[in-house]
Amino acid sequence: MPRIADAFARLKAEGRAGLITYTTAGDPDLARSAEILTALDRAGADLLEIGVPFSDPVADGPVIQRATERALAAGGSLRASLQMVERIRPHVRAPIVVFSYANPLLRMGVTEFARRASGAGVDGVLALDLPIEEAGEFRETLLASGLDTIFLLSPTTTDARIRKAAELGRGFLYGISRLGVTGARDRVASGAEALVRRIRAQTAMPIALGFGISRPEHVAEVAAYADAAVVGSALVSLIAEERESPQLIEKVEAYVRWLKSASPASAHTNAHA
């Protein structure tokens, strides 16, 4: 069974929702970025999302934009990201999803990217700005290399497009709880549960929910209706604050353990038992 499917099957068997972490590859530098990923896995992250640094991250808020700038300055790139995955893969249990804008993938060539990503141990790919309607050939190329294609769904995504994403996607669907750019918030968006229920009405695929989740109570709230919560900007912000500290890795690990401390069983698991 592919690693992502296996991870969600294990979560369902354990009766809990998962925690997915997002970090930018190469932030604050390539060596510590790799250490951070192994620390996230050690702390219990159920899936690792690794962002490819890109010069024009239009969907990202200032926290991830600055992380991308730091990563690019430190030599981060798509190639460097895949090399990092290859180095850490033997030491990491969690599935790994590459999170990228389409431009770096197209520049490398999708076939070449799929070959390198598969060889490095990547499990899934989310091309942030690739329209579902134009994703068929991309998906087939990735599938031929054993890679899952993951799609973003937002509150404005129509039911027809949700069905198309479920038809083309593998692994899980990623629901973003609000419109606008990424960034930590004080509370989970009010429409988040409604979005998950709308997706759930169209497909049995696992659903992860992200954008704005930063505290254990947010993770616990999302766990009541989704299969996993995604924490990105809050974690990237912690990395930025502690990047000069010798305790950086220790603090990242402690933050993930804290996030997991209040996560109850997933309602989805109970509803579909």
Whether 60 is catalytic is yes
Three-point CA angle 84, 90, 93, nearest 5°: 100
Cβ-Cβ contacts under 8 Å for 35 (sequence gap 6 or more): 249
Residue 209, helix vs strand vs coil: strand
What's 147's DSSP letter?
P
Place of tokens 């991830």: 64
The token duo for 30 is: 């390539």
Handedness of CA 236, 242, 244, 250 (dihedral sign): negative
Gap between the Cα atoms of 131 and 265, Å rounded: 33
Cβ-Cβ contacts under 8 Å for 192 (sequence gap 6 or more): 175, 177, 178, 209, 222, 225, 226
Q: Check 60, 148, 193, 221 and give the catalytic one.
A: 60
Gap between the Cα atoms of 31 and 127, Å rounded: 25
Gap between the Cα atoms of 238 and 243, Å rounded: 8
Cβ-Cβ contacts under 8 Å for 234 (sequence gap 6 or more): 184, 213, 214, 215
Q: Check 27, 41, 46, 49 and give the catalytic one.
A: 49
**Residues labelled catalytic:** 49, 60
